[in-house]
């Protein structure tokens, strides 16, 4: 049985391990604690994590989410993001920030897409990439 007094207070910052061996030992310790959780503790731990670090919780759920039945998920090469409001392709251009932006052009060896400012924020949806190519050809 564990003590009711935690080894490390919640507000204290953890000191990073100084060697790869120590980091591997800490990772093994975390995995052992995870394996020792009973069926009631695991959902409670995840519920706590969802409120305490929501971005980490979202990243965890995305990482372990199964693929759809047809094998195509939102982030697979067979899908492309587009703006639901106007039908234009959207993408993330890190030089302009972490959000989705409308863009023109196609990525090839000699050209690259260029983001532009639309009169609205993108509302992201996903469509098969083959349909997106056909829509672009019609627009040209």
Q: Does one domain contain both 55 and 87?
A: no
> Is 70 part of a structural domain of the chain?
no
pLDDT at 132: 46
Return d(Cα 114, Cα 96) in angstroms, integer.
11
Name the residue range of residue 134's domain: 79-139
Confidence band (pLDDT; 50, 70, 90) for 41? Answer: very high
59 lies in the same domain as 93: no
Q: What is the pLDDT of residue 95?
A: 86
SS3 7: coil
51, 111: one domain: no
Q: What is the pTM of this model?
A: 0.41
Asked if the structure places residue 97 within a domain, the reply is yes
If one counts the domains in the chain, the total is: 2
Residue 78's closest CA among 93, 64, 68?
A: 68
pLDDT recorded at residue 14 = 61
């Amino acid at each position: 049985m564990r003590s009711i007094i935690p080894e490390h207070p919640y507000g204290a910052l953890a000191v990073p391990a100084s060697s790869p061996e120590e980091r591997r030992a800490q990772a093994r310790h975390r995995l052992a604690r995870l394996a020792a959780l009973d069926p009631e503790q695991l959902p409670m731990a995840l519920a706590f994590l969802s409120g305490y670090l929501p971005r980490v919780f979202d990243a965890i759920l995305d990482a372990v989410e199964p693929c759809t039945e047809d094998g195509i998920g939102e982030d697979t090469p067979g899908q492309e993001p587009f703006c639901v409001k106007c039908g234009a392709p959207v993408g993330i251009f890190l030089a302009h920030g972490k959000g989705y932006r409308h863009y023109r052009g196609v990525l090839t060896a000699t050209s690259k897409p260029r983001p532009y400012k639309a009169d609205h924020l993108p509302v992201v949806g996903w469509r098969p990439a083959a349909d997106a190519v056909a829509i672009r050809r019609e627009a040209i």
